């Protein structure tokens, strides 16, 4: 969860344009064929629906929902469904394209998609959420499918919503189809290791980044913005690897402890305190939560929403490296300043790809009708993340470019190559 309320849409960089400006640089570096450029720059399908839902008080409220499939050239499209008040089509389009690049970077056989419903899950009852989720699934019956488009959790959604999606889809098809969605509860065919997968991939990317910068994890300090599923597991796993997590934040504020925050305790506290760190006594609350971003730490992990590092605050960043747990936490305008400051950035489409990687394992297990051990899941996802990091790093050396552009180059190259073989109409 973010502690910084997202800026109103009109003040924020358009996320689709942010994505495109990096895409354009990578396309140029690759010498991408103009025809393929034209195919990849726009999503292959966009579906927007109005969902009338009966609220608990008997009134009917209409919600706006979207599903954007950016590409399915590498395989069925894959990506989460976000429930938030600032969901809008441009954001969903950008997030869908990011999923295409993310799946290609880690070399899993998926295209990219994303969904979203404009709603405030914090203000809705479980019954309202269930009706909304089922209505959305009904509206997307022709889009979703284990070989077509596979949803997963994102901000504001989790295993509970995935279970409703699976159930609704299965009812419509008269048979249980658990491979139509990932991030499910374990008992419905969820994978061991999926809950912590994104945070775990962030940890692997952070350690690989430290290795390249010759920073000893045992001496490294970390600040994590966002203490939801991604941020809290990333903090916990980095702490377990010997790092000192000096600051974490959530919607209630930022918490600092120079000697290191006991993340295990912080998670325990959050889980028994309405999901927030308010009142946590293992750290001091910072006066201004945004200051967390400007701490002089070895690694800054933005793990909340888009655009938290932007042209208005980028000059103040003092971290040696940034490992992007969130999707799009750095605006495109901030990239140049970050690069000129020599800050190493493990970009979102690489660093947070651990989640979709284990989603892929979940889908594979569902299709095999088999269950892997947590060790097998972790070992395989760690290897995929490390291999992807090494490939992106090598590409950045070859093209003398930042890791972000290198990640786009790796991804676009793979998708473009596939297009060439498959051909068009
Ligand atoms: N929503 C997550 C992401 O942005 C996971 C997507 C998935 O597992 O399909 O990467």
- Whether 150 is covered by a domain: the verdict is yes
Domain contains 7: no
Q: Which tens digit of pLDDT belongs to each residue from 400-414?
A: 999 999 999 999 999
Residues 75, 111, single domain; the answer is yes
Going by DSSP bridges, is the β-strand pair 253-256/244-250 parallel, antiparallel, or unpaired?
antiparallel
- 106 alpha carbon to ligand 1 midpoint, in Å? 13
Which residue shows structure tokens 């809008």?
88
Buried b (16+ CB within 10 A) or exposed e, 308-337: bbbeeebeebebbbbbbbbbbbbbbbbbee
Nearest residue (CA) to ligand 1, atom 7 = 356
42 versus 130: the higher-pLDDT residue is 130
Q: What CATH number is associated with residue 212? A: 3.40.50.720
| 159 and 270 both lie in a single domain | no
Is residue 259 located within the same domain as residue 157?
no
Mutate to test the pocket of ligand 1, among 99, 148, 385 (most ligand atoms within 8 A of CB): 99
- CATH number for position 118: 3.40.50.10860
4 within a domain of the structure (yes/no): no
Ligand 1 center to residue 38 CA distance, Å?
A: 25
Radius of gyration of the chain (CA): 20
Is pLDDT above 60 for 11?
A: no
- Closest CA relative to residue 329, chosen from 356, 310, 354: 310
- The pLDDT, as a whole number, for residue 192 is 98
Query: Do both 269 and 159 map to the same domain?
Result: no
Residue the block writes with tokens 């309202």:
128
Q: How far is CA 110 from CA 16, 99, 151, 327, in A?
A: 20, 9, 12, 18
* 254-262: average pLDDT: 98
Average pLDDT (38-53) is 94
Domain end among 320, 351, 382: 351
Q: For a substitution probing ligand 1, which of 183, 358, 360, 364 has the most ligand atoms within 8 Å of its CB?
A: 183
* 298 vs 295: CA distance, rounded Å: 9
For position 2, what pLDDT does the model report?
Answer: 34
**Among the listed residues 118, 113, 144, 121, the one whose alpha carbon sits nearest the alpha carbon of residue 51:** 118
Q: Is residue 112 part of a domain?
A: yes
Q: Which domain holds residue 50?
A: 43-178
Q: Token digits for 228?
A: 């939801």
Q: Which of 163, 165, 171 is nearest to 187 (CA)?
A: 163
Q: Are 399 and 13 in contact (CB under 8 A)?
A: no
- pLDDT bucket at 372, cuts 50 / 70 / 90: very high
On whether both 213 and 151 belong to a single domain, the answer is no
| CA pair distance 105, 111, nearest whole angstrom | 11
Q: pLDDT per residue over 278-307, tens digit each? A: 999 999 999 999 999 999 999 999 999 888
Residue 360 in this model has a pLDDT that exceeds 70: yes
Q: What distance in Å separates the CA atoms of residue 71 and residue 410, rounded to the nearest whole number? A: 16
Tell whether the model's pLDDT for residue 249 goes beyond 50. Answer: yes
Residue that finishes a domain, picked among 351, 374, 404:
351
Active-site residues, by number, are 114
Is the separation of the CB atoms in 414 and 110 below 8 Å? no
Query: Can you give the pLDDT at residue 58?
Result: 98
Distance CA 241, CA 253 (A): 26
In the reported structure, the alpha carbon of residue 80 is separated from the centroid of ligand 1 by a whole-number distance in angstroms of: 5
Residue 412 · residue 32 · CB < 8 Å: yes
233 and 303, same domain (yes or no)? yes
The pLDDT tens digits of the residues spanning 125-158 come to 999 999 999 999 999 999 999 999 999 999 999 9
**Structurally, how many domains does the chain consist of?**
2
Q: Does residue 319 share a domain with residue 206?
A: yes
Q: Which of 112, 154, 303 to mutate for ligand 1's pocket (most ligand atoms within 8 Å of CB)? A: 154
Q: What pLDDT, in 10s, does the model give residues 341-355?
A: 999 999 999 999 999
The pTM assigned to this predicted structure is: 0.94
Q: Which residues, judged by CB distance below 6 Å to any ligand atom, belong to the binding site of ligand 1?
A: 78-80, 152, 154, 182, 327, 352, 355-356, 359
Longest dimension (CA), the chain: 62
pLDDT in the model for residue 57:
98
Asked whether residue 347 is assigned to any structural domain, the reply reads yes
Q: Kindly state whether residues 213 and 143 are assigned to the same domain.
A: no
Task: Report how far apart, in Å, the C-alpha atoms of 289 and of each of 3, 8, 171, 230 are.
Answer: 7, 18, 46, 19
Claim to verify: residue 163 and residue 306 sit in the same structural domain: no
**411 in a structural domain:** no
- Asked whether residue 213 falls in the same domain as residue 156, the answer is no
Name the residue with higher pLDDT: 39 or 199. 199
Distance 155 CA to ligand 1 centre (A): 10
Last residue of a domain, one of 117, 147, 178: 178
For residues 204 and 344, membership in a common domain is answered with: yes
Question: Does any domain span residue 5?
Answer: no
One domain for residues 236 and 273: yes
Coil, strand or helix at 112:
strand
């Amino acid at each position: 969860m973010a502690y910084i309320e997202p800026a109103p849409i009109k003040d924020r960089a358009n996320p689709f344009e942010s994505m495109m400006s990096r895409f354009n640089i990578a396309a140029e570096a690759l010498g991408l064929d103009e025809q393929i450029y034209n195919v990849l720059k726009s999503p292959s399908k966009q579906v927007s629906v109005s969902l009338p839902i009966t609220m608990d008080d008997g009134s009917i409220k209409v919600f706006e929902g979207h599903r954007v499939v950016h590409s399915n050239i590498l395989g069925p499209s894959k990506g989460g469904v976000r429930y938030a008040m600032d969901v809008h089509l441009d954001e969903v389009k950008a997030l869908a394209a990011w999923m295409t690049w993310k799946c290609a970077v880690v070399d899993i056989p998926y295209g990219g998609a994303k969904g979203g419903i404009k709603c405030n899950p914090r203000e809705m009852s479980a019954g309202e959420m269930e009706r909304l989720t089922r209505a959305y699934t009904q509206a997307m019956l022709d889009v979703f499918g284990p070989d077509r488009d596979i949803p997963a959790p994102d901000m504001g959604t989790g295993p509970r919503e995935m279970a409703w999606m699976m159930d609704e889809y299965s009812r419509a098809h008269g048979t249980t189809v658990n491979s139509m969605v990932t991030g499910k509860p374990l008992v419905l065919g969820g994978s061991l290791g999926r809950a912590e997968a994104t945070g775990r991939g962030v940890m692997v990317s952070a350690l690989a980044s430290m290795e390249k910068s010759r920073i000893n994890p045992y001496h490294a300090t970390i600040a994590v913005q966002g203490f939801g599923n991604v941020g809290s597991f990333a903090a916990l796993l980095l702490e377990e690897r010997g790092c000192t997590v000096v600051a974490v934040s959530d919607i209630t504020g930022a918490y600092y402890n120079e000697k290191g925050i006991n993340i295990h305790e912080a998670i325990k506290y959050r889980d028994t305190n309405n999901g927030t760190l308010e009142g946590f006594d293992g750290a001091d609350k910072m006066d201004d939560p945004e200051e967390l971003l400007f701490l002089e730490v070895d690694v800054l992990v933005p793990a909340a929403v888009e655009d938290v590092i932007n042209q208005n605050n980028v000059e103040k960043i003092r971290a040696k490296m940034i490992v992007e747990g969130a999707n799009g936490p750095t605006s495109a305008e901030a990239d140049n300043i970050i690069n000129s400051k020599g800050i190493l950035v493990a970009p979102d489409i690489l660093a947070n790809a651990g989640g979709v990687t284990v989603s892929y394992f979940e889908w594979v297990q569902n299709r095999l009708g088999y269950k892997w051990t947590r060790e097998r899941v972790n070992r395989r996802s760690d290897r995929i993340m490390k291999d992807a990091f090494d490939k992106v790093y090598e590409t950045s050396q070859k093209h003398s470019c930042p890791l972000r552009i290198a990640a786009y180059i790796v991804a676009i190259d793979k998708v473009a190559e596939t297009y060439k073989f498959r051909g068009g109409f």
